[in-house]
Amino acid sequence: MDIDYSIVYSRRKTVRITVERDRSVVVRAPLGMPPDKIQEVIDRKSFWLFEKTRHSQKYERVLPSKEFVSGATIPYLGEAYQLDLIAENFDGVLFDNKFLISSSSQSQAPQLLIDWYIEEAKRIIIPRVQRFASLMGAVYNSANVIDLKYRWGSCTPKNNLHFNWRLIKAPLRVIEYVIVHELAHLLEPNHTQSFWQIVKTQVPDYERSKAWLKENGTLLEEAP
């Protein structure tokens, strides 16, 4: 059976295959590993990959659309806050223990909230990346907040860190777990026992945050 996949090369020692939540297959391989050797690994895992990429419960959930009216709830840092549409005209989104949007901007509410989320994610995530990197002795080139779609964070072969803006909806402890997780990849590329010990040193209860993401990840993907 034919399986499409992308390859990410790094200084890792072993091959690791992951199936992302958008069903894409990513092969993380050592630098210089020939494509035919990678294909051999894919062939050996073909039936496993076939099952993974067709798992209906994991991939086919339809996310509900959100209605942006007064009284609707908006997630932020693990809590649900009320949305109020008010008559006063102003740009963007205001937050004061609840979300405020001008009634005249109601039709633009989804994009306004996304823009607000992105700026908040930058404000909260980037300084924490710097702080944890200093604590861990990890060196990175850049840290960015972007739309990662189906991933919460990523560490590129060039040591650039990317974080999903949707994380701003999660509790702060979960955000910090993802930050530490990606920084740990700069010190240990693979999910070895050493890797998880690095994570645990900074986030002792990381397993609770990891479980939270697994259970609530789909909720973070809901609109906006």
Residue 39 banded pLDDT, cuts 50, 70, 90: confident
94-95 and 6-10 strand pairing: unpaired
Residue 136 banded pLDDT, cuts 50, 70, 90: very high
Q: Is the peptide bond before 224 cis (omega within 30 degrees of 0)?
A: yes
Distance CA 172, CA 209 (A): 10
Average pLDDT (151-174) is: 93
Coil/strand/helix, residue 24: coil
Q: The domain containing residue 195 runs over which residues?
A: 115-220
Of the residues 59, 79, 96, the one at which a domain ends: 59
Contact between residue 179 and residue 153 where contact means Cβ atoms under 8 Å apart: yes
Instruction: Give me the number of domains the chain comprises.
Output: 2
User: 0.85 cut: is pTM over it?
Assistant: no
DSSP H or E stretch at residue 31: none
For residue 216, the domain's CATH number is 3.30.2010.10
Of 33, 24, 30, 31, the residue nearest 6 (C-alpha): 24
Contact between residue 52 and residue 19 where contact means Cβ atoms under 8 Å apart: yes
Of the residues 43, 59, 75, the one at which a domain ends: 59
